[in-house]
Chains A and B, each alone.
Chain A
């Protein structure tokens, strides 16, 4: 699985979204499922998928699909494609 596939999969599982809805433009509170409960689920899925532990700052900064990709770079994870 590519990193992009893993990344999108974490949204599918964490936010319970159909895969086709996981794309650029998704924002925290922009859709019903990405609320504070969904956010914690998403963070947990990402930590598991990439075997990392986010810093506090990164959890509260993770506000969109694109922002998440940027944050993951700090953990040496390149999500491309």
Chain B
């Protein structure tokens, strides 16, 4: 019952549509992937340097079918971070765009269109757990080579749940709006292929003319977006656009503000587009909850209910289950899509299931009388940066290691670095350093000078005393 095998049945339907409008049938697409993977023995580790294009998705599905374990790496990754990953996982094979800057000296084994497959200097001298299917960079990785270990069961289970609650039809065409190395985008690809639908592999951002040209030409029926994408759509006056092909859109990767949620609910209702708000984490493969669109108005601000096959519970500080409605506790998810655990390096790839189907999300939530869940805060100090979970304590650690005196706070998509470094050049340096280390544009960081870091008597940082000088994009 593995979805990437079952999709053979869709033989002559269209699986992938390129930006140029080329259509590949399931038969062709699967054949191309299988052929590419012929060169690689099962149970090897493959670094798959992703762009949102046919070549990447073809190798991804091919790898799952062959039992090769891909590490999904965005082609835009910082060179130094990439080197760390490479050293930590000793992949035997790397598949990357021909014009990619790394590994030009490694021998070429094969290729597919604009991508080339190379063997590396590493001989695989470690075992892979038989259940291990896929390795994804975690949002909270903050510059460390930490990956999430996903199993074959995880991927199929989550894709099935998603296809079911979204009611994906074979006629649907999903256009990508996020990098496919990101779990949310990958889940859109998986769930659409599962149903014999098509995916339009698009590299452009919604603020580029090319995106809308492709949109008009290829008429996607759906896309997904993190809050930042919805902000861009708002600035582009999404409400005024004529997009008759659009049937439903999804939102995840962080919470929309109440005003944004209401505005988009209104626009979508008027246009007859279903807007489905969801919640998830890479640690749960992708999705854990969805808000049924019929209830979107009534339950605005809610992350909805557990996906089919999953369940939520809330626990108090003593780990006891909370049964009363409207009581805040840590959100716990149980389901087949809870991943095996983390890896810090190749040594961890033989490990089995460490989570046993239960995930402590780190989010604080409450449940209303109808069983709908609402995120109200976070147990640990982290921010969502463009859909990625970033632990602030870890960020402080990285900066400290680099010799900067600094504490971090902020809001989603906007991190503030409070520093006692007085020199402007040093502040600038710090900002550039952290922007590179975390791989977010330096515009997402604001450096604020403070005379001293406020601490209580026990030496704990008083984040509440940091104030909140804010620099926000003015409201439209």
Interface, chain A (partner B; CB < 8 A): 15-16, 28, 32-33, 35-41, 43-44, 47-48, 53, 55-56, 59-61, 63
- CB A70 to nearest CB in B, in angstroms, measures 14
Q: Is the CB of B205 within 8 A of A56?
A: no
**Which of B208, B236, B444 interacts with A56 by CB under 8 Å?**
B236
Q: Is the CB of A37 within 8 A of B444?
A: yes
- The contact string, 1 if C-beta is below 8 Å from chain A, for chain B 228-264, is 1001100111001100000000000000000000000
Known: A33-B441, A48-B474, A59-B235. A39 touches B209 (CB 8 A): no
Q: Which residues from chain A contact B209 at a C-beta distance below 8 Å?
A: 60-61, 63
Cα distance, A66 to B209, chains bound together (Å): 17
Q: Is the CB of B232 within 8 A of A40?
A: yes
Q: Which residues from chain B contact A61 at a C-beta distance below 8 Å?
A: 209
Q: Is the CB of A59 within 8 A of B441?
A: no
Cα distance, A43 to B299, chains bound together (Å): 33
Q: Is the CB of A44 within 8 A of B473?
A: yes
Known: A15-B443, A33-B441, A60-B212. A40 touches B241 (CB 8 A): no
**Minimum-distance CB pairs A-B, first 3:** A36-B205, A60-B209, A44-B473
Known: A56-B237, A59-B235, A60-B212. A33 touches B473 (CB 8 A): no
Main secondary structure of the interface of A (DSSP, over half): helix
Q: Counting CB contacts under 8 A, is B442 at the interface?
A: yes
Known: A44-B473, A60-B208, A60-B212. A37 touches B228 (CB 8 A): yes
- CB B470 to nearest CB in A, in angstroms, measures 14
Q: Counting CB contacts under 8 A, is B207 at the interface?
A: yes
Known: A48-B474, A59-B236, A60-B212. A39 touches B207 (CB 8 A): yes
Q: Counting CB contacts under 8 A, is B460 at the interface?
A: no
Cα distance, A53 to B212, chains bound together (Å): 20
Q: Is the CB of A56 within 8 A of B441?
A: no
What would 13 more interface pairs be, CB under 8 Å, given A33-B442, A36-B232, A40-B473? A15-B443, A32-B442, A37-B441, A40-B207, A41-B473, A44-B235, A56-B240, A59-B236, A60-B207, A60-B209, A60-B211, A60-B212, A61-B209
Q: Which residues from chain B contact A41 at a C-beta distance below 8 Å?
A: 443, 473
Q: Which residues from chain A contact B236 at a C-beta distance below 8 Å?
A: 56, 59-60
Q: Which residues from chain A contact B212 at a C-beta distance below 8 Å?
A: 60
Q: Counting CB contacts under 8 A, is B320 at the interface?
A: no
Q: Is the CB of A16 within 8 A of B235?
A: no
Cα distance, A43 to B476, chains bound together (Å): 11
Cα distance, A56 to B234, chains bound together (Å): 10
Known: A43-B235, A56-B240, A59-B235. A16 touches B208 (CB 8 A): no
- The contact string, 1 if C-beta is below 8 Å from chain A, for chain B 195-209, is 000000000011111
Cα distance, A15 to B386, chains bound together (Å): 17
Cα distance, A38 to B435, chains bound together (Å): 13
Q: Which residues from chain B contact A35 at a C-beta distance below 8 Å?
A: 441
Q: Which residues from chain A contact B228 at a C-beta distance below 8 Å?
A: 36-37
Q: Which residues from chain A contact B386 at a C-beta distance below 8 Å?
A: 37
Q: Which residues from chain B contact A56 at a C-beta distance below 8 Å?
A: 236-237, 240-241
CB contacts under 8 Å to A, within B423-451, are 441-444
Q: Is the CB of A16 within 8 A of B443?
A: yes
- CB B349 to nearest CB in A, in angstroms, measures 33
